Amino acid sequence: MIRFSRSNDIRSWGGVLRAPHQVARPLWRDDLPRALVAARDEGLHLLATGLRRSYSDTCLNPDGALLEMTSLDRAIFFEPELRILRAEAGVSFDTLLKMLIRRGLFLPVTPGTRFVTLGGAIANDVHGKNHHRAGTLGRWVKRIGLLRSDGTELELTPQDNTGLFAATIGGLGLTGIITWAEIEVMSIGSAIMEAENIPFANLDEFFQIAQESEGYEYTVSWIDCLAKGKDLGRGLFTRGNHASKGARLPSNAEPKLTMPLNFPAFILNRLSIGAFNGLYYWNGKRKAGREAVPIHPFFYPLDAIGHWYRMYGRAGMYQYQSVVPPENERDATKAMLETISTAGEGSFLAVLKTFGDRLSPGMLSFPRPGTTLALDFPNRGEVTLRLMGRLDAIVREAGGRLYPAKDGRIPADMFRAGYSQWEDFAQHVDPHFQSHFWKRVAQ
């Protein structure tokens, strides 16, 4: 029997929003129809969740109930020669990688952590360092099992002409329960990456290196968001490819450090972040060049630190991720960095990357051609909210948009302006599913 019980420790990854939830934890796919019945009997709207690595409130549903899907983590079908994998929605990327890498295979798209579930990655249509070559994960999804609240079980494919497949890719879990998915995976030669690290002194150099690096499979940059004047936009550009030869098994990827406690709020300030950024840039220049890197540190550097979000303290943090189109990317990115530097509310986890033109099938997919900037801001209340409001104005004027999975306070009008298909998407939202995010922006 499926029962919902109260849990008081549910939080977003950013930690700004914490709220009690009614939670059920199904063990088998056969439990899911019973969970739907139990939710209806208790008058609860549902949301299926995985490992809840979304920084924002897209994975929270405090006025309804959560279905924690992480026990539904079984492989269903795997054909290495065809590069086809079908698995239950609650399986983590960490588990999939253990199965794939030793067989010379890899996920076609992966975000910056391997601790996400397959269903969650599809629901957020994740992107990675290879967007300019591979697009989002949604482009690699072949089939989806979707359970609607009326008990209907559907098998969706990209050929679906109802719009439900497109709504489910990047649909933030609002179209029903993703029960399983089938994806195409890619071949690799080893568990080693051939990487190159290149310092750049300003934004013009960044865009030049990015253009020259389009032939590399993976590209990403760290940027010093507190730098000013002639140093505005300085950072470290990383590009890489899978090595054709080398170890076939990944090195030990267990966290080497763990944040045992939340940092006191006063530790993160302009001086400490500025000092860290200066030292990180100097060290990056010192170590610039080519190197062979194990696969996990290349893709998932923060996974080496357990509970790393605790460095932001009990108040948590916001992540702000925008994308602006090519015609405005230079001016808008410069304006955002000047605004952040002047405010002194910088981040030491700032990422700058160019997206390609590989369009996703998802109605609410975030990436689009242009440049994306992602930053973490310690939650300092109104000071931080006002700063992000100023960034909103720059992004909106540039014709850009924000990433719902990252931003826990995106204004409703900005969401609607950035996602022109949101009303079409709303027609596919299951009437018995909801999230804190969707109630804020659409209801």
Classify residue 296: in a domain, yes or no.
yes
CA–CA gap between residue 58 and residue 320 (Å, rounded): 14
Q: Would you say residue 382 lies in a domain?
A: yes
Answer yes or no: is pLDDT of 221 > 70: yes
CA distance 114 to 60: 20
pTM of the entire structure?
Answer: 0.94
Q: Say if 418 falls within a structural domain.
A: no
Q: Domain with 259 in it: what CATH number?
A: 3.40.462.10
| Residue 318 placed within a domain | yes
- Give the Cα separation of 5 and 295 in Å (integer): 40
* Structure confidence by residue, pLDDT tens digits, 102-141: 999 999 999 999 999 999 999 999 999 999 999 999 999 9
pLDDT at 259: 58
- pLDDT on residue 309: 65
Domain that holds residue 219: 192-413
Q: Compute the distance between CA of residue 339 and CA of residue 328 in angstroms, rounded to an integer.
A: 16
What's the total number of domains in the chain?
A: 1
Q: What angle do CA 320, 181, 162 make, to 5 degrees?
A: 85
Going by the DSSP 8-state scheme, the letter that residue 433 receives in this structure is B
- Closest CA relative to residue 79, chosen from 170, 154, 142: 142
Express each pLDDT in 173-189 by its tens digit.
999 999 999 999 999 99
Buried b vs exposed e over 108-127: b needs ≥16 C-beta within 10 Å? Answer: bbbbbbbbbbbbbbbbbbbb
**pLDDT, tens digit, for every residue of 375-384?**
988 888 999 9
Any domain includes 131: no
Has residue 208 been placed in a domain?
yes
Whether 25 is in a domain gets the answer: no
Residue 262 confidence class, pLDDT cut points 50, 70, 90: low
